[in-house]
Amino acid sequence: MREPVETLAAAIAPELEALGLELFDVHLTGSGRTRVVQVLVDREGGVDLDAITAASERITRLLDHRDVLPGPFALEVSSPGLERPLRRPDHYRGALGELISVKVRDTEGAIRRLRGDLEHADDTGITIATGGAAASEHIGYDDIVQARTVFEWGTASERGKGAKKVKT
């Protein structure tokens, strides 16, 4: 049996594609009376309020008329934003070359934070250039607690780095 989030994503993605949008992520929270469905949508060049509104209306109709999510729900639709959450391998692959912040759990359970340019991402983990003693560090997905892209204001020369692509 599929997980509820996978079922939601499979139902929502084609509806968004019909609007020219991409499903970036789906979160399902709450276990009480009303669950919260958080949907992050994107497209090349970013999304605007009209796109968010159209996506909200289409997803609401889908969830109200199909037995995808039984019971009451609250729907939140938004853009992933400038500092995007990174949860799946495809998220990391989409952020190659960007500055990221990662919380990592070591073998003893301690959490440390790393910040650097994402150099590589595959199905097992990522490689991040931290600029520390070890120029690059490989991290398995199972060791990542949380990760996101980092947006820095200013020009590339002020940051001392190459230009980063910015998605909205």
Topology given in CATH for the domain delimited by 4-78: GMP Synthetase; Chain A, domain 3 (3.30.300)
Kindly give the confidence (pLDDT) of every residue in the chain, 168 residues in length, as a single tens digit, with 9 standing for 90 and above: 456 788 889 999 999 999 999 999 998 888 667 889 999 999 988 899 999 999 999 999 998 887 777 778 899 999 998 899 999 999 999 899 999 999 999 888 899 999 999 999 999 999 999 876 668 899 999 999 999 999 988 755 455 544 444 444
pLDDT at 154: 72
The candidate with the shortest Cα–Cα distance to 10, out of 21, 2, 18, is 2
CA 160, chain centre distance (Å): 26
Residue ranges covered by each domain of the chain: 4-78, 89-159
Q: Left if phi > 0, otherwise alpha if psi is -120 to 50, otherwise beta: which for 11?
A: alpha
Pick the CATH number of 89-159 from 2.30.30.100, 3.50.7.10, 3.40.190.170, 3.10.129.10: 2.30.30.100
